[in-house]
Amino acid sequence: MATHTPIRTCIACGTKSDKRSLLRVVRGADGSVCVDASGKAAGRGAYVCKNAKCFEAARKKRTFESKLRVKISAAAYDRLEEEFSTVCAESANTCSRDGE
Ligand SMILES: [Zn+2]
């Protein structure tokens, strides 16, 4: 039980995966939305695969907005997308190493 990893669902494709394979996007107290690289930030969160396709799909369908119950402007999305790809690139390195 000590090694149990919480399972989360990608809001774009519906894939269930352990928390570490998904990326958390969180809505802060001020209504701004950002990528939660630590997975520990307070606030309403939504999970998406570490995959640009899923991010794009969630953006197009406005899934982030309905899940996080917040309006996200195009500029905020662009910033979010940039954070997302940065975190994806960073975790891709670490994940492939400790994945086995
Ligand atoms: Zn997905």
Burial 2-23 (b: 16+ CB within 10 A, else e): eeeeeebebbbeeeebeebbbb
What is the structure's pLDDT at 59?
Answer: 97
What is the structure's pLDDT at 93?
Answer: 67
What is the structure's pLDDT at 95?
Answer: 53
**How much is the average pLDDT of 41-58?**
95
> pLDDT, tens digit, for every residue of 1-14?
557 888 999 999 99
The letter for the amino acid at 7 is I
Report how far ligand 1's centroid is from the alpha carbon of 13 (Å): 4
Q: What are the backbone angles phi and psi of residue 51, rounded to the nearest 5°?
A: -155, 120
Stronger pLDDT, 97 or 39, i.e. the higher one? 39
Report how far ligand 1's centroid is from the alpha carbon of 14 (Å): 6
> pLDDT, tens digit, for every residue of 77-89?
999 999 999 998 8
Domain ranges of the chain: 7-90
Domain 7-90 class, CATH top level: alpha beta
Report how far ligand 1's centroid is from the alpha carbon of 46 (Å): 11
